Structure 1
Amino acid sequence: MAKVVITGGSGMLGHWVVKHFVEQGYEVLNVDSRRPEQPLCPTIQADLENLGETYGVLAGADAVVHLAAIPAAHIRTPEVTFRNNVMSTYNILEAAAGLGIRKAVIASSESSYGIVFAVHPFGPQYVPVDEAHPQLPQDSYGLSKVVNEQTAEMFNRRTGMQVVSLRLGNVIPPEWYERFPSFIHKPEERERILWSYIDTRDAAEVCRLAVEADGLGAVAINVAADDSSMAIRSRELLQARYPDVTDIRSSLDGHETLLSNEKAKRLLGWQPKYQWREQVEQQNKS
């Protein structure tokens, strides 16, 4: 049975990732600065900015899924956000390399494209935004994710370790779907994230598929649902909030995602299963 260390497993997404790996038969160790509300596996509390502690928690692992981070801008001061996110990721990959671990998955973000927390707002150069789109952050959080992706590339060059950087869209746990009716008809809501979202259960599956895949090298992959989080058609959303975007690279006949997930499907054989309309309908019935 393969052993996977999941950092940040006490967090909102981490809980679902731990749950998924446990259900799939993996030996799982959660590493976090706090205990989980629902313990699903052993937990070690550790400071991942300390390389020695990082070596300690990764010893004996076959793979690591690194989710631990300050999860957005404006939670901590900019320099604390940058230091925490960059050093913890460096230490995870440094320790993994030293211990001979060959598979790592790290949490990057759609924020790396720069639109989400931009001080001077701007729109995408084209849609759907794929992984080739320029990353133009104006904030330390987005910058930390760009640096982490480059750190992943460095370790792959140095050691051959496979490192998959998941550019996660807006992560939605099941209980949050009740919020959707309040904003689905308002184009100005969620425009900074291009109206994207991803269910925690679909994101958890991507993490596992990224661990199980072979031969990917160092690669960045968007993770988003197939549809937008809005009741308004995607082309109309663009016209309302980003009218200057004229480079549209897909048909956009309906509510398609504007954060492309095609690469995840192609490289990982992944297919998102959860869509907000079905989830809201189920909640209304129950």
Structure 2
Amino acid sequence: MPELIRPTRVLVTGADGTVGRPTVEALVDDGIAVTALSRTWSAPTPADRVFTGDAADEVLVRDALSDVDAVVHLAATAHPDLDTPRAVFVGNTSATFTVLACAGEAGIRRAVIASSINAFGIPMNRHDVMPAYYPLDEASPVAHDDAYSLSKWVDERIGAFACSRWDMTVVALRFPLVRELAALRDTVRRMIAIPGEQARLAREGWAYLEMADAVDAILRGLTQPISGMHTLLVAAADTILNQSTEDLLDRYAAHVERRQRFDGRRAPIDTSAARHVLGWAPVVSLAEGEASIIMEATA
């Protein structure tokens, strides 16, 4: 079996973000030096090199890449409502292009970037659209209607460009809702109390991912002996709702093709590519033991 790759120093952009901070902590705990870049800082970071500014700033990024041999690019405006459509799209894609291009030109050959389960456009689409089939997978047909989802899809294309241009190995992780367990509990309660939200969440397979599993996928993306461009869906094995998946699909997506049966609360998300490429599998479930906060689906 090929040996794992161990980077000596990793640049993490968006290092003060929801996923960025746990990623930095995990790398440092593993003895890997971290250069952290963020627009702002809510608390001190354990990284030994710190840069403050925009990941689209070419001069700043080039400085931050000094002595770096791998990149985790997490910096982004994470929702279409957080800025104007142009600012969301241009800001996100400009940052991704800048980070990967500067890394490629510097001879860096490994990058993990944060994509989104929204990259195929359906979950946040304002129109009455649904996925073409279940389970969702990396080949699900796209239908973009918001700037954030479009930016994540373009980010993946930028990753493929970097792979071709600089022979860089790029792993784009399509994350669903990602939080630590306690925050997941609160977020899920709020989400499913919103009228119509349970039906809308059918578009993304009622998916979620606990933070430890997300960070594990990132670290595997840095260390697995792979090459090329890989876009990978990562999600928990079950859904956020305490109802059988088949019943949920009957209720909210009866007309959508099902390419397999989903026993129990199995998420209608195909994460087999992440298993094959990274050897990754989700571990944490909201439904297990005392951690269970899954709510009953209601009308």
Q: What is the total number of aligned residue pairs between the two structures? A: 282
Structure 1 CA distance for aligned equivalents of residues 122 and 132 of structure 2? 11
Cross-structure match for 1:241 = 252
Cross-structure match for 1:266 = 276
Alignment of 1:129-144 (within 5 A): 129-144=136-151
Contact kept, 8 Å, 2:38 with 2:53, in 1: the verdict is yes
CA distance change for structure 1 residues 39 and 13 in 2, over 3 Å: closer, same or farther? Answer: same
Q: What SS is found at the alignment partner of 2:81?
A: coil
1:36: how far off?
Answer: 3.8
Cross-structure match for 2:172 = 165
Q: Please report the TM-score for the alignment, with normalisation by the length of structure 1.
A: 0.92
Unaligned runs of 5+ in 1: none
Matched residue type, 2:268: L
Whether 1:53 aligns to 2:60 is yes
Cross-structure match for 1:80 = 87
Cross-structure match for 1:113 = 120
Picking from 185, 188, 196, the partner of 2:207 is 196
Q: What SS is found at the alignment partner of 1:228?
A: coil
Whether 1:11 aligns to 2:17 is yes
Cross-structure match for 2:287 = 277
Matched residue type, 1:243: A
1:258: how far off?
Answer: 1.6
Cross-structure match for 1:37 = 43
Unaligned runs of 5+ in 2: 1-6, 294-299
CA distance change for structure 1 residues 279 and 190 in 2, over 3 Å: closer, same or farther? Answer: farther
Structure 2 CA distance for aligned equivalents of residues 171 and 40 of structure 1? 22
Contact kept, 8 Å, 2:13 with 2:75, in 1: the verdict is yes
More divergent stretch after superposition (169-178 vs 119-128): 169-178
CA distance change for structure 1 residues 38 and 231 in 2, over 3 Å: closer, same or farther? Answer: farther
How much is the aligned-residue C-alpha RMSD, in angstroms?
Answer: 2.0
1:166: how far off?
Answer: 0.6
Structure 1 CA distance for aligned equivalents of residues 210 and 130 of structure 2? 24
Residues 179-209 of structure 1: CA distance to partner in whole angstroms, max 9, x if unpaired?
A: 3456679843633432000111110110010
Q: What SS is found at the alignment partner of 1:267?
A: helix
Contact kept, 8 Å, 1:183 with 1:189, in 2: the verdict is no
Matched residue type, 1:210: G
Alignment of 1:15-26 (within 5 A): 15-26=21-32
Structure 2 CA distance for aligned equivalents of residues 59 and 206 of structure 1? 25
More divergent stretch after superposition (82-91 vs 179-188): 179-188
Matched residue type, 1:108: S
CA distance change for structure 1 residues 184 and 50 in 2, over 3 Å: closer, same or farther? Answer: closer
Structure 1 CA distance for aligned equivalents of residues 117 and 108 of structure 2? 27
CA distance change for structure 1 residues 213 and 194 in 2, over 3 Å: closer, same or farther? Answer: same
CA distance change for structure 1 residues 83 and 270 in 2, over 3 Å: closer, same or farther? Answer: same
Cross-structure match for 2:296 = none
Structure 2 CA distance for aligned equivalents of residues 146 and 177 of structure 1? 25
Cross-structure match for 1:67 = 74
Matched residue type, 2:15: G
Contact kept, 8 Å, 2:170 with 2:229, in 1: the verdict is yes
Cross-structure match for 1:206 = 217
More divergent stretch after superposition (207-216 vs 95-104): 207-216
Contact kept, 8 Å, 1:118 with 1:139, in 2: the verdict is yes
1:40: how far off?
Answer: 2.1
Structure 1 CA distance for aligned equivalents of residues 66 and 142 of structure 2? 34
Whether 1:227 aligns to 2:244 is no
Q: What SS is found at the alignment partner of 1:277?
A: coil
Q: What SS is found at the alignment partner of 1:74?
A: helix
Matched residue type, 1:61: V
Contact kept, 8 Å, 1:164 with 1:210, in 2: the verdict is yes
Contact kept, 8 Å, 2:136 with 2:205, in 1: the verdict is no
Q: Please report the TM-score for the alignment, with normalisation by the length of structure 2.
A: 0.89
Q: What SS is found at the alignment partner of 1:90?
A: helix
Matched residue type, 2:273: K
Matched residue type, 2:125: A
Cross-structure match for 2:104 = 97
Q: What SS is found at the alignment partner of 2:232?
A: strand
Structure 2 CA distance for aligned equivalents of residues 279 and 198 of structure 1? 17
